[in-house]
Amino acid sequence: MYYCQNVKNFIIKTFLCLAVFTAVFFTARKCFACQEKEKGVFMPVIMYHSVCEKSPSEYTVTPQQFESDLLWLKNNGYSTVSTEQLVNYTHGKGSLPEKCVMITLDDGYYNNLSEVLPILEKYRMSAVISVVGFYTDNIAPADPHVPEYSYLTWSDIKELSDSGFAEIGNHTYNMHSFDGIRKGCAKVKGETNEEYINTLKSDIQLLQSEIHRNTGISPIVFAYPFGEVSREALPVLRECGFLITLNCSEKPNYITRNPECLYGIFRYNRSGLYSTQDFMDKITSINA
């Protein structure tokens, strides 16, 4: 009897562990984009940061490199897609180009306007530019319009938005930092769900309000600072109206007719240490 009871307890515990693992696994999947190659449209996403005449680095490319990238994409049949196209497609409306790509720029550098916008206009391509509210409010006004290091002012952001070639994304108001405790907008050890939700919601809603007040738009794209993703963040982002989230995992995306595939879009960081050909081979060869 004792043996049978132990066996019974073992089976119950094993079943419960599997159930918990399955629940965690599928919840975690919701934080990331779709990887169903057979069912989706292949879409690499490029993540740029600063584009200026400084020496190329991990997070800096020159305007010449940026233009070389766009020329490569154009010559190889790629078309940029807008967030509206993606959202419509996942809801069963319209189509996507056979070879589509999304261009994104993080942090809101002034050179996204001074250097990037003219090149986007030249090649008739579009990009998502995700800004940090604290940088715009507190750093940009003190030393504006220097391509090598300044951040976008609110008038700059409005100019980008009005251009028709740039969409504005939310990159948090003031959570783009790492203080040794919290990295980006990730949940920290010992923080309750309620504390975390209130902190995140107040931050991103502040930036949403400021963007709307200064540009008249309400972003539907959220870029995780440093790519730090927490499962608890997704319900908050949905509630705040975001339909697309961007992380920093370097993997391909396959866009399906399911809107869930837009939560956790993968992106390839465009390091200036690569040539255009080497970088493009890296992000497109998986679909060759």
Tens-place pLDDT, residues 143-155: 999 999 999 999 9
Q: Which amino acid is at 150?
A: S
Extract the runs of DSSP E, i.e. beta strands, from 89-137.
100-107, 127-131
pLDDT exceeds 80 at position 17: no
- pTM beyond 0.85: the answer is yes
Q: Between 10 and 104, where is the model more confident?
A: 104
Map residue 100 onto helix, strand or coil. strand
Check pLDDT > 80 for residue 31: no
Give me the pLDDT at residue 36, please: 55
**Three-state SS for 219?**
coil
pLDDT score of 176 more than 50: yes
Q: What length is written for the chain?
A: 288
User: In the chain, count of helices (H) and strands (E)?
Assistant: 10, 13
Stretch 59-83: mean pLDDT: 98
Instruction: For 128-155, give the DSSP string.
Output: EEEE-HHIIIIIGGGS---TTT-B--HH
Q: Provide the pLDDT for residue 33.
A: 57
Segment 167-180 mean pLDDT = 95
* Cβ–Cβ under 8 Å, residues 125 and 164: no
- The pLDDT-based confidence of 39 (bands split at 50, 70, 90) is confident
pLDDT at 206 over 80: yes
Q: Give pLDDT, residue 92.
A: 97
Domains and CATH numbers, the chain: 33-287 (3.20.20.370)
Distance from C-alpha of 196 to C-alpha of 215, rounded to nearest angstrom: 29
| pLDDT (tens digit per residue) in 106-149 | 999 999 999 999 999 999 999 999 999 999 999 999 999 999 99
Predicted pLDDT at 38: 59
- For CA atoms 233, 239, 240, 243, the dihedral sign is positive
Rounded Cα distance between 270 and 67, Å, is: 13
Once rounded to an integer, what is the mean pLDDT over residues 192-219? 98
The reported pLDDT for the residue numbered 180 is 87
Residue 51 has a pLDDT of: 98
Ramachandran category for residue 226: left, alpha or beta (phi over 0 → left; psi -120 to 50 → alpha): left
Q: Name beta bridge partners: 109.
A: 151
Using CA atoms, how far apart are residues 25 and 170, in angstroms rounded to an integer? 27
Residue 3 has pLDDT above 90, yes or no: no
Mean of per-residue pLDDT scores for the chain: 90
